[in-house]
Amino acid sequence: MAGLTEDHPQIGIDDIIDGSEQKLNEDIVERESGGGAREMAPPAGNSIHRSGSRPQLDLSKAAIQGNFEERDPTILLPNQSDDISHLALDIGGSLIKLIYFSRHEDRSVKDRRKKFLEEKIGVSNGIRRSYPILGGRLHFVKFETAKINECLDFISSKQLHRGGMDAHDWNSDAPDNENAVIKATGGGAHKFADLFKERLGVSIEKEDEMNCLVAGANFLLKAIRHEAFTHMEGQKEFVQIDQNDLFPYLLVNIGSGVSMIKVDGDGKFQRVSGTNVGGGTYWGLGKLLTKCKSFDELLELSQRGDNRTIDMLVGDIYGGMDYSKIGLSASTIASSFGKAISENKNLEDYRPEDISLSLLRMISYNIGQISYLNALRFGLKRIFFGGFFIRGHAYTMDTISFAVHFWSKGDAQAMFLRHEGFLGALGAFMSYEKHGLDDLMVHHLVERFPMGAPYTGGKIHGPPLGDLNEKISWMAKFVQKGTEITGPVPMASPRTTGLGGFEVPSSKGATLRSDASNLNVGVLHLVPTLEVFPLLADPKIYEPNTIDLAEQGELQYWFTVLSEHLPDLVDKAVASEGGTDDAKRRGDAFARAFSAHLARLMEEPAAYGKLGLANLLELREECLREFQFIDAYRSIKQRENEASLAVLPDLLMELDGMNEETRLLTLIEGVLAANIFDWGSRACVELYHKGTIIEIYRMSRNKMQRPWRVDDFDVFKERMLGSGDEKPHPHKRALLFVDNSGADVVLGMLPLARELLRRGTEVVLVANSLPALNDVTAMELPDIVAEAAKHCDILRRAAEAGGLLVDAMINSQDVNKENSSSVPLMVVENGCGSPCIDLRQVSSELAAAAKDADLVILEGMGRALHTNFNAQFKCDALKLAMVKNQRLAEKLIKGYIYDCVCRYEPASS
């Protein structure tokens, strides 16, 4: 029996739960981007390379496809055979967990700007790594084992077994490759091998379940930032795992039985113990005692249970008193089911709810206790619990945590994994040789909200969502039917009674969501070119978000702001695509999808890891892109750029007539004043109805009055101009994180850049890789700079030296000679498409540009307030923004809307 011998790994709980009785996952629940199928690039090359039965990536003649600087370059493997599988499965008794990889489309072009940067600052994306990571996405999908045909249809429709063929080609005549192999673990890997061969023509290569569990857990703990969390009295808290201090740990996999595995490193582990009292025991006994039909029904019952009616408590023995001498409170369970001995009752006299809860507590405490004892035995401080017994159930996690805490007297900590259900499948995926995943670092992986329809927890009938049209139709149906957006178990306030345990579960709610654990994983974007911004003072303590959304009322407030902004955004988005019927349909679907995401996050803010405002704002942009709105503010940006460029010459002339000191102040005022052009702020958008861009800009400048609410200008001025006769050395290189198009960049940041250039400082304009609201992008900036350069010699020479002017780029050798007198003005992309920036994950060209920089200027609310307000840098840092939201002004700077922030912090030593 499971757990009794060390030789036999525990079978998963899925293996003994009768799938046909399972309510869980009645239909396919796909955690993926609905557009995933479109991203499957056609296979490269056609030669076949094999090593035994193991499919391998053939790296010979590997080359970056297209652009070295893009966020996620595809690596072309011209000699790679078509049949490499990017699919792995864990086939349990009730659930099939499937992981597949989709490559990114290569959309970027390697332009002159990028070529120049390569020479000038030595960006070398992609080739830094010696192994073949492919930029792409890891998708997590589940099926009921009883409906294995749906799983096979899914694989077939996406052509996953053929190694990444585009879903559009699913009717293609491409012959099946008889040698194709896919990796799978779990009992079903044996049971269904013939079916896979028959239906898909592929062989299943079975991987050891225990190996897979450990490989999957190691990968998750090393590569996903918010993977592990503690769960105490209803409170979920993410734990930052130090990659270099992960081992050893105890992995407790709670399936039907329980395995306890001491993990010492990659591939280094030992199953040290186990127990036969596990998930199977709960389900088996529960089924007999309560007549429940499914595991989840049983779990749901426990939500409404009161185990005191059946458990014998210390207080029952001691006349309602604590046994404080040995540290036991009256509410401690002295004997699970103990009351049943003395009471003259039959089974029917007990409520099934109470029985279920009593059972759940008995088993969870027992597992927690044995786990702790094993941790103690091997001196392990950390215990990670996984397996489908837990399935995101708050009370189960609480009881296990309580037991570990209780028995260890707070010395050991129980932790849980968000991808708990996918450990085996991930491990099987990892077992493909040379995919390069094992060396991925946290900053190479971006977890994003799943954008396909099923993320809402709805049920899908028929084939999985393939293209945009299907996705749109699904969104329409989803709302028409009024399908409830399923949420997790709501948390009740904790009711702990001190030593010994809870009187009643602290994490109880009315209903248990049947797919509780399903909704807690997103899509993993693998972006091997992302890097940690090298100028962060201490990346380990860096937290991008300034406001904690967990604080009372914060999430609700931002939820309302974003919801209210939605109709206007949809109008803009639809107009940006010509206002066609197709655009309207997409706009409608976008609004529904985004609202559904918001609703989901209101219920379970930590659904995809720790939630910050930056994630919410990025979600909106990602969602727009998902419905193919590439740049909703395109025409607004163009119009504002043109209007601002027209008045730039006058502004420059005005500035040139000033002395150094007045000019510097006017420049900073100019940046702050021009930051008013923000189409993401409701208050500002209302302002725009009241005048032309130039009128608003003038009004904003006229209102600039020092002291600003945060005003470090004098310290900054001293660093720039010195005091007395002493002239400070100019900064060598400044990185200017620009914000909005139009006046913001043209009349604010460019003149500031010009001042720095004039003083001999190289300037790097850092802009978004992808559009977000009216933010200017790195693609758009060279044209803007070129226009501005027509009116200004300083900008022209610097832009030529920085490779931004096309004419000068024709012969780059001439450029270097002719412009040796000027420091360069360059443009780099930041690696993101959001109004905020998380400096733990920036483009490699930005990381390369940062190496020689000694000044960072962050501009705008998104980049300097919502994120990075408290960020510390190794170099001098200036944060400039106008606060365009009353609540933020009150909270952050105890001020008012339209107050300004000029925060200067010299290099932290």
Helix (H, G, I), strand (E, B) or coil at 110: coil
**678 lies in the binding site for ligand PAZ (CB under 6 A):** yes
Q: Where do we find the tokens 């968000």? A: 418
681 interacts with, out of Mn ion, ligand PAZ, none, CB within 5 to 8 A per kind: ligand PAZ
Count other Cβ atoms within 10 Å, centred on residue 571.
13
Letters for 790-829 (x = contact with ligand PAZ by CB under 6 A, - = none) are ----------------------------------------
Of residues 737 and 904, the one with the C-beta less far from Mn ion: 737
Partner whose footprint covers residue 311, from Mn ion, ligand PAZ, none (CB < 5 to 8 Å by kind): none
Q: Which residues pair with residue 251 across a beta bridge?
A: 261, 384
Stretch touching ligand PAZ by CB under 6 A, among 357-365, 646-654, 680-688, 724-732: 680-688
Instruction: State both tokens at 86.
Output: 């990017």
Tell which phi-psi region holds residue 603, choosing left (phi > 0), alpha (psi between -120 and 50) or beta. alpha
Strand partners, 141: 30, 98
866 binds, among Mn ion, ligand PAZ, none (CB under 5 to 8 A by kind): ligand PAZ
CA 761, CA 852: separation in Å to the nearest integer? 11
Q: Rounded to an integer, what distance in angstroms lies between the CA atom of residue 330 and that of residue 513?
A: 32
CB-nearer residue toward ligand PAZ: 850 or 861: 861
Q: Could you tell me if 442 and 243 are in contact, meaning their C-beta atoms sit under 8 angstroms apart?
A: yes
Identify which range of 314-322, 370-378, 716-724, 856-864 contacts ligand PAZ by CB under 6 A: 856-864
Q: Does 398 bind Mn ion (CB under 5 A)?
A: no
Per CB under 6 A, the list member of 74, 294, 336, 740 interacting with ligand PAZ is: 740
Q: Judged by CB under 5 A, does residue 775 bind Mn ion? A: yes
Cβ atoms of residues 819 and 838 within 8 Å: no
- Binding to ligand PAZ by CB under 6 A, coded x per residue (else -) over 139-178, reads ----------------------------------------
Q: For residues 593-622, which are near Mn ion according to CB under 5 A?
A: none
How far apart, in whole angstroms, are the C-alpha atoms of residue 96 and residue 146? 9
| Element containing residue 594 per DSSP (H, E) | helix 581-603
Contact between 545 and ligand PAZ by CB under 6 A: the answer reads no
Stretch that binds ligand PAZ, among 6-14, 314-322, 454-462, 859-867 (CB under 6 A): 859-867
Q: Which does 663 bind (CB under 5 to 8 A by kind): Mn ion, ligand PAZ, none?
A: none
DSSP assignment of 725-779 equals: TPPPPPPSEEEEE--BTTHIIIIIIHHHHHHHHHTT-EEEEEEBSS--TTB-BTT
Query: In the bound complex, what is the minimum distance in angstroms from residue 643's beta carbon to Mn ion?
Result: 17
d(CA 600, CA 618): 16
- Which of the residues 213 through 242 are near Mn ion (CB under 5 A)? none
User: CA–CA separation, 680 vs 744, rounded Å?
Assistant: 14
Q: Does 895 bind ligand PAZ (CB under 6 A)?
A: no
Residues 347 and 711: their CA atoms lie apart, in Å, by 73
Residue with tokens 């491990």: 427
Pick one of Mn ion, ligand PAZ, none as the site partner of residue 518 (Cβ within 5 to 8 A by kind).
none
Cα torsion angle, 803, 809, 813, 819, sign: negative
Judged by beta carbon, residue 3 or residue 835, the one nearer Mn ion is: 835
| Nearest distance from C-beta of residue 565 to ligand PAZ, angstroms | 6
Scan residues 816-845 and list those touching Mn ion (CB under 5 A): 835
6: how many CB neighbours lie within 10 A of its CB? 12
- Which residue number, 567 or 760, has a Cβ lying nearer to ligand PAZ? 567
- Which residue stretch of 328-336, 417-425, 681-689, 843-851 sits at the interface with ligand PAZ (rule: CB under 6 A)? 681-689
Q: Which of 748, 835 has the CB closer to ligand PAZ? A: 835
The binder of 885, among ligand PAZ, Mn ion, none, by C-beta within 5 to 8 A per type, is ligand PAZ
CB of 856 to ligand PAZ, least distance (A): 16
| One of 399, 681, 819, 830 touching ligand PAZ (CB under 6 A) | 681
- Are 261 and 211 in contact, with CB atoms under 8 Å apart? no
Min dist. Cβ of residue 768 to Mn ion (A)? 9
Give min distance, CB of 770 to ligand PAZ, in A.
Answer: 15
**Among 254, 835, 856, 902, interactor with ligand PAZ by CB under 6 A:** 835
Given 740, 741, 769, 834, the residue binding Mn ion (CB under 5 A): 740
Tell me, by CB under 6 A, how many residues bind ligand PAZ. 18
CA 394/CA 401 separation, integer angstroms: 10
User: 522 exposed, middle or buried (CB, 10 Å; 0-12, 13-18, 19+)?
Assistant: buried
For residue 625, give the DSSP letter.
Answer: H
SS (HEC) of 118-148: HHHHCCCCCCCCCCCCCCEEEEEEEEEHHHH
**Nearer Cβ to ligand PAZ, position 12 or 835?**
835
Q: What is the 3-state secondary structure (H, E, C) of 36-87?
A: HHHHCCCCCCCCCCEECCEEECCCCCCEECCCCCCCCCCEECCCCCCCCCCE
Record the tokens describing residue 356, joined without a space. 């279920």
Total residues in contact with Mn ion, by rule CB under 5 A: 5
The torsion defined by the Cα of 857, 861, 862 and 864, in degrees rounded to 10, comes to 30
DSSP summary character for residue 514: T
Radius of gyration of the chain (CA): 30
Q: Is 682 in the site for ligand PAZ (CB under 6 A)?
A: yes
By the rule CB under 6 A, 427 interacts with ligand PAZ: no
Q: Closer CB to ligand PAZ, residue 423 or residue 674?
A: 674
* Cβ-proximal residue to ligand PAZ, closest one: 680
- Name which of Mn ion, ligand PAZ, none residue 561 binds, using a CB cut-off of 5 to 8 Å depending on partner kind: ligand PAZ
Return the residue of 183, 700, 885, 901 that touches ligand PAZ, per CB under 6 A. Answer: 885
Contact 368, 407 (CB under 8 A): yes
Shortest reach from residue 566's CB to Mn ion, in Å: 18
- Give the Cα-Cα-Cα angle 590, 591, 597 (nearest 5 degrees): 90
The reply to whether 860 sits near ligand PAZ by the rule CB under 6 A is: yes
Q: CB neighbours (10 Å) of residue 494?
A: 14
Nearest one of 102, 25, 107 to 523, comparing CA atoms: 102
Q: Cα(611)–Cα(364) distance, rounded to whole angstroms?
A: 29
* Closest alpha carbon to 828 in 129, 116, 136, 135: 116
Question: By CB under 6 A, which span of 87-95, 330-338, 656-664, 677-685 interacts with ligand PAZ?
Answer: 677-685
Question: From the list 424, 458, 464, 680, which residue makes contact with ligand PAZ (rule: CB under 6 A)?
Answer: 680
Give dist(CA 261, CA 270) in Å, integer. Answer: 6
Binding test (CB under 6 A) with ligand PAZ, winner from 861, 871, 892, 893: 861
Distance of closest approach, residue 634 Cβ to ligand PAZ, in angstroms: 16
Q: What is the residue type of 669? A: E
Question: What's the gap between Cα 220 and its chain centre?
Answer: 13
Out of 58, 739, 762, 838, the residue judged to bind ligand PAZ by CB under 6 A: 739
- Residue 675 touches which member of Mn ion, ligand PAZ, none, C-beta under 5-8 Å by kind: ligand PAZ
Q: Which is nearer to ligand PAZ, 63 or 897 (CB)?
A: 897
Q: What's the min distance (Å) between Cβ of 685 and ligand PAZ? A: 8
**CA-CA distance, 98 to 768, in Å (whole number)?**
34
Binding segment toward ligand PAZ, per CB under 6 A, in 338-346, 451-459, 692-700, 854-862: 854-862
- Looking at 90-98, 392-400, 678-686, 698-706, which segment touches ligand PAZ (CB under 6 A)? 678-686
Taking CB under 5 A as the binding criterion, the range among 133-141, 180-188, 308-316, 769-777 that sits at the site for Mn ion is: 769-777
Which residues are near Mn ion by CB under 5 A? 739-740, 775, 835, 860
Which positions lie near ligand PAZ, rule CB under 6 A? Answer: 561, 617, 675, 678, 680-683, 739-740, 773, 835, 860-862, 866, 884-885
